[in-house]
Structure 1
Amino acid sequence: MAKMTILQAITDGLRVALREDERVLVLGEDVGVNGGVFRATDGLQGEFGPHRVVDTPLAEAGIIGSSVGLAVNGMRPIPEIQFFGFIYPAMEQIVAHAARVRMRSQGRFSCPMVIRAPYGAGIRAPELHGDSPEAFFVHQPGIKVVCPSNPYDAKGLLLAAIDDPDPVLFLEPLRMYRAFREEVPEGRYTVELGKANVVKPGKDVSVFAWGTMLRVALEAAKSAAEKGLDVEVVDLRTLSPLDRETIAASVKKTGRAVVVHEAPKSAGVGAEIASVIQDEAFLYLEAPVMRVAGYDTPQPLFSLEDIYAPDAKRILHGIDKAMNF
């Protein structure tokens, strides 16, 4: 097995899908000749041609609207939104069309498309380049939301998303694109959508995270271990649908929960996870569910970026609050 970064694993997953299924095509701004702004599609147009890896105008609504038409008519489009914060012009196409095709047609049609979008702060990019608006889409029935935290999952979840008969929003942790490598199998394999992963078992408190925040949570768990605390870290991997069973089982074991995300705190996905815990494991709780999140402001620019997103120190503070309640 080759050692890959998250970015390389995504490229490899796209290559596998394009080779195996002629219905698959990639489209977006600069995905072809330039290989994508982060080179996630580097070399794919040269291998598969400009009709399978398609450079589009700067028009997010057009990219997604075209993909809806392609998907309904039997293709498997993979549109790329260059940064997650650029997705707002395409909201109408996603929530009013892609997510509703199956319901609107009473099951006669589906919309098998994967919308790829790098998300999150930490690379000193301009405004709208570091947003994390995943909660908007978790709220919308009819679309799955997936966010890997490592290379193995990135490829496996991407291939599973491409196989799915309905639309999937595939969020790629921008700050982690080239941060580390791990072994990734060659060829096809999938990681089941809707299944969380207990990355680090523990008995004292459960920490739930995804994407970029997963590695930050592991760093906080390491610091907590120096204080004698055994932290369980759960990678949700899929935000919609949530793996309620794994969330509940973890909290029933530890009795305490901390949810971490870099999106704003109010009405974020963390609130839904807290509600799942309330529904499924309330009688096991020894403390309120703690949320460690971004602040209720727009994603700030360079000088405040490091203050905005949760770091290991803030997560450790949340763990301490849960333990000392």
Structure 2
Amino acid sequence: MREITFAQALEEALIEEMERDERVITLATTRAPGLENKFGDKRVRFTPISEAAFTGIGLGAAGSGFRPVVHWGMVTFSFVAMDQIVNQASKIRYMFGGQADFPVTYRCTTGGGMQVAAQHSQSPYSMFMHLAGLKIILPSTPADAKGLLKSSIRDNNPVVFFECSRLASTTGPVPDGEHVVPIGVADVKRAGRDVTVVGLAYYVREALAVADTLAAEGISLEVVDPRTLVPMDADAIRASVRKTGRLVVVDEAPATCSAASEIVALVTEDAQTFRALRAPVQRVCAAPVPVPFSPPLEQAALPDRARITAAIRRVLA
């Protein structure tokens, strides 16, 4: 077991999968000299800044026997490739009657907190959750990032792999040797008895910090990390809520039509879990505004520990 950064874990995963399978190739608008030197420019492709083009190229290559890893950079840049994502990638395997595989992984950074202004601070993963045919990944730790990227590359369906910008330099333990995390399986990061807190990406870390603080008051939080948004591990989330009877969901996207909304729905639509609730469910989400460039305004727009703590106290009141 080693301590490495989130970014290093992702790099390890990509290198290991390229070593394991010569069909794995990469496409990106920024050069990766280390990868180029190791694998050559036929497998490490430096593309023009045309996301629509290389998003489609990646999908076509996937249908031709390769396993492309396509890096959009920031999720912002995926929006100019929406036809390829919405009308092609998400639907192509279905339209082939399941007779062809399209193992393409689209990577991008997401989220605010980095003072890079409204266009580059978005968290639009719920938009992609609406596209049947895509698997959606959102890890919170270096170990999960590595294991889930490896699983994504090996998956025979299109995957969108979101990487929270604020997590890139964070560190955590990663197992030595082969490490694969299955898609669609949530993880209980901290067991507890009083309140279930479901955090997404960066806010798993924040929920754990709040749990440490409230433990001094005798409040026991169970922190659940979905890790995968599609497919979502409804059983794990419901089991936790049935145990604690209370739910707080923390998501840095705005609340409307959000991943947080989906988590609340899968809890309240299940009769057994709904009957177990002792208090109304709480969502702690971003304000419904573009993320400001100003650091104080950005901080005000995004969830923080104080808001998470306040929501927890409300469900315990």
Q: Normalising to structure 2: TM-score of the pair?
A: 0.96
Match of 2:119 in 1: 128
1:306 aligns with 2:296: no
Q: Which amino acid aligns with 1:177?
A: A
Match of 1:215 in 2: 205
Structure 2: any 5+ residue segments left out of the alignment? none
Match of 1:295 in 2: 287
Q: CA deviation at 1:155?
A: 0.6
Alignment partners' CA distance in 1, 2:54 and 2:290: 25
Does the CA-based 8 Å contact 2:117-2:292 persist in structure 1? no
Alignment partners' CA distance in 1, 2:105 and 2:195: 34
Q: CA deviation at 1:91?
A: 1.7
Structure 1: any 5+ residue segments left out of the alignment? 34-42
Does the CA-based 8 Å contact 1:205-1:256 persist in structure 2? yes
Alignment partners' CA distance in 2, 1:96 and 1:20: 31
Secondary structure class of the residue paired with 2:84: helix
1:260 aligns with 2:260: no
Alignment partners' CA distance in 2, 1:223 and 1:2: 27
Does the CA-based 8 Å contact 1:292-1:315 persist in structure 2? yes
Match of 2:310 in 1: 317
Alignment partners' CA distance in 2, 1:15 and 1:132: 27
Cα RMSD between the aligned structures?
1.2
Does the CA-based 8 Å contact 1:10-1:154 persist in structure 2? yes
Match of 2:12 in 1: 12
Secondary structure class of the residue paired with 1:316: helix
Alignment partners' CA distance in 2, 1:271 and 1:309: 17
Alignment partners' CA distance in 1, 2:293 and 2:314: 30
Equivalent in 249, 261, 284 of residue 276 of structure 2: 284
1:232 aligns with 2:225: no
Alignment partners' CA distance in 2, 1:284 and 1:186: 40
The total of aligned residue pairs comes to 314
Secondary structure class of the residue paired with 2:185: coil
Q: CA deviation at 1:217?
A: 1.0
Secondary structure class of the residue paired with 2:229: strand
Cα distance change, pair 31–305 in 1 and its aligned pair in 2 (3 A)? farther
Alignment partners' CA distance in 2, 1:287 and 1:31: 51
Between stretches 86-95 and 269-278, larger displacement belongs to 86-95
Q: CA deviation at 1:89?
A: 0.9
Secondary structure class of the residue paired with 1:82: strand
Match of 1:118 in 2: 109
Alignment partners' CA distance in 2, 1:322 and 1:139: 30
Q: CA deviation at 1:3?
A: 2.1
Matches within 5 A, 1:12-31: 12-31=12-31
Residues 277-301 of structure 1, C-alpha deviations (whole Å, 9 max, x = no match)? 0122111111111000001112222
Does the CA-based 8 Å contact 2:117-2:291 persist in structure 1? no
Equivalent in 111, 129, 143 of residue 138 of structure 1: 129
Percentage of matched positions with identical amino acids: 38
Alignment partners' CA distance in 2, 1:278 and 1:127: 33
Match of 2:190 in 1: 200
Does the CA-based 8 Å contact 2:18-2:24 persist in structure 1? yes
Q: CA deviation at 1:46?
A: 1.5
Q: CA deviation at 1:95?
A: 1.6
Alignment partners' CA distance in 2, 1:226 and 1:186: 34
Q: Normalising to structure 1: TM-score of the pair?
A: 0.94
